[in-house]
Chain A
Amino acid sequence: GNSVTQMEGPVTLSEEAFLTINCTYTATGYPSLFWYVQYPGEGLQLLLKATKADDKGSNKGFEATYRKETTSFHLEKGSVQVSDSAVYFCALSDQMGGGSYIPTFGRGTSLIVHP
């Protein structure tokens, strides 16, 4: 079956530090990959996505590259801000047994950025 594994949190950084949140996946087909972010008190929202191998998704200074050979989609940002403090979810979308596309999510990684 499909699964997503992300690094355990919380990740605690100082402002302007470099961020990496690791994500690896297992899929039976050729999935699309997503990062979602959940800010405190808000719902999950799409951060970025990539739909084929070697694609790079980017948004708000965050980037992630679809690596088929290592089945990874690590999230990076060069300089984090306090406002980036949130929970980040890696997800894949692949066709399920019944033919529908139902996203599978990782457990989420909490990021705490200190001033």
Chain B
Amino acid sequence: GAGVSQSPSNKVTEKGKDVELRCDPISGHTALYWYRQSLGQGLEFLIYFQGNSAPDKSGLPSDRFSAERTGGSVSTLTIQRTQQEDSAVYLCASSSQGAKNSPLHFGNGTRLTVT
């Protein structure tokens, strides 16, 4: 079946521009996560959506970052006024319930380069 799909796979943008990254989770998965992976670093949690509940935004690094999830499915991560330190691979994952034992299913990520 279809896995988690992210687009674009690569994005190069100029400093100061806004970017939108898209994630299509596995159909029926209620939980959706965004992580950021920088070179040599682990996965840094950004934001978590579970069903119709308010998202957990505790990992967003600044107010330039925001995300939404429409209709409990597709999610968009928006970075405003991009900075060079925003360059990273942005990973989206979904899980069937968001429970402690539920494994995450990852997309291939969006590599963002801010010049």
Are A95 and B100 in contact (CB-based, < 8 A)?
yes
CB <8 Å contact, A101 and B99: yes
Contact call A43/B56, Cβ cutoff below 8 A:
no
Also in contact, A43 and B106, with CB within 8 A (given A95-B100, A101-B100): yes
For this complex, into which size category does the number of interface residues on chain B fall? 20 to 34
Asked if B107 contacts A43 (CB within 8 A), the reply is: yes
B42 in complex: contacting residue of A32, A45, A101, A106, CB < 8 Å: A106
Q: Is the pair A104, B45 in contact by a Cβ cutoff of 8 Å?
A: yes
Inside 8 A of A96's CB, which chain B residues have their CB? 56, 58
Whether the pair B48, A51 counts as a contact (CB closer than 8 A) is: no
B72 — which chain A residues lie within 8 A by C-beta?
Answer: none
Within 8 A of A (CB), among B49-84: 50, 56, 58-59
Given contacts A98-B56, A100-B48, A102-B48, whether A93 and B101 have CB atoms under 8 Å apart is: yes
A44 and B106 in contact (CB under 8 A), knowing A32-B101, A100-B48, A107-B41?
A: yes
| Minimal beta-carbon separation of B59 from chain A (angstroms) | 8
Complex-state Cα separation, A24 to B104, whole angstroms: 20
Q: How far is the CA of A95 from the CA of B91 in the complex (A)?
A: 21
Taking beta carbons and an 8 Å cutoff, which residues of B are in contact with A? 3-4, 33, 35, 40-43, 45, 48, 50, 56, 58-59, 91, 93, 98-109
Instruction: Return 18 A-B CB contacts under 8 Å, by A number.
Output: A32-B101, A36-B104, A36-B106, A41-B108, A43-B4, A43-B106, A44-B93, A46-B103, A46-B104, A93-B100, A95-B100, A97-B58, A100-B98, A102-B48, A102-B56, A105-B35, A105-B43, A107-B42
